[in-house]
Amino acid sequence: MRVLAAAVLSLLLASAAAQAQDQAMAERLKPCAACHGEGGHSRDEVYYPSIAGKPQGYLQQQLRNFREGRRHNTVMAELLAPLSDDYLRAIAAYYAQQPPTLAAREPVADAALLARGAKLVREGDAARQLPACSRCHGGQLAGVQPAIPSLAGLGRDYLSAQLGAWRSGVRQALAPDCMAQIARKLDEAEINALSAYIAALPVNAQTRPAEHPDGKLPLDCGSVP
């Protein structure tokens, strides 16, 4: 009986310590919350995407990309410049453990646009060596551990802007930059279609990153270990 009581007490103390650590981290991350929302749940998905529940490895890479100039945002660069890799890892771990943002989906009335987007997302275009988005980002587009991000839950304008930034070279990642290769094969109409389709997908509490890819990835990506 005493052993059981001691075990329960140990669990309670560990839980309390974890909660205190989370609260302390949330306090430190108030500058991040000003844009990305409390716990990474954004109030403005157009400019500041929700980052709650995304794979830790992906979040850490993006923080390093902003700090090291592969992604360009003055505010992010200034905030991250003095931070160590260990601190970036802690920030990424905090947001990765948060529940995903259950945002309202964006309605799209144009069935033809959605159908075109669905084909690109689910099938790709073999003739152009353009893999389906779901091949890397998972069937739910919820991402894959440890470093492939979720697309589900992102807004149409944000998705379109990021693909455009990759296509133009404004956004970059570690070589080989697989997303830049893909984005350069898409025209504006295709970017609009797949962004509309992804933004219209439902998101629920089970929309979490998969533990491993479903087979071999179609491209080599420097961001994926």
Q: Is 179 annotated to bind ligand?
A: yes
Instruction: Tell me, yes or no, whether 6 lies in a domain.
Output: no
Instruction: Tell me, yes or no, whether 122 lies in a domain.
Output: yes
Please identify which residue in the block is written with the tokens 């500041």: 48
Q: Is 32 annotated to bind ligand?
A: yes
pLDDT greater than 70 at residue 26: yes
Q: Is 76 annotated to bind ligand?
A: yes
Query: Would you state the pLDDT for residue 4?
Result: 53
User: Structural domain of residue 165, as residue ranges?
Assistant: 19-199
Instruction: Tell me, yes or no, whether 14 lies in a domain.
Output: no
pLDDT greater than 70 at residue 54: yes
Query: Would you state the pLDDT for residue 161?
Result: 95
Exposed/middle/buried for residue 7 (C-beta within 10 Å: 0-12, 13-18, 19+)? exposed
Instruction: Tell me, yes or no, whether 39 lies in a domain.
Output: yes
What is the mean predicted confidence (pLDDT) over 44-72? Answer: 93
Closest to 160 in 3D by CA, of 131, 140, 138, 187: 187
pLDDT greater than 80 at residue 177: yes
Beta bridge partners of 210: 144
pTM: 0.82
Q: Is 25 annotated to bind ligand?
A: no
Q: Is 72 annotated to bind ligand?
A: no
- The percent of residues in the chain predicted with pLDDT above 90, rounded, is 74
Query: Would you state the pLDDT for residue 20?
Result: 66
pLDDT greater than 60 at residue 5: no
| Tens-digit pLDDT profile for residues 129-153 | 999 999 999 999 999 999 999 998 8
What is the mean predicted confidence (pLDDT) over 27-43? Answer: 94
Instruction: Tell me, yes or no, whether 8 lies in a domain.
Output: no
Instruction: Tell me, yes or no, whether 28 lies in a domain.
Output: yes
Query: Would you state the pLDDT for residue 193?
Result: 96
Instruction: Tell me, yes or no, whether 147 lies in a domain.
Output: yes
Number of domains in the chain: 1
Q: Is 136 annotated to bind ligand?
A: yes
Domain containing residue 66: CATH number = 1.10.760.10
Query: Would you state the pLDDT for residue 38?
Result: 94
Contact between residue 107 and residue 155 where contact means Cβ atoms under 8 Å apart: no
Instruction: Tell me, yes or no, whether 51 lies in a domain.
Output: yes
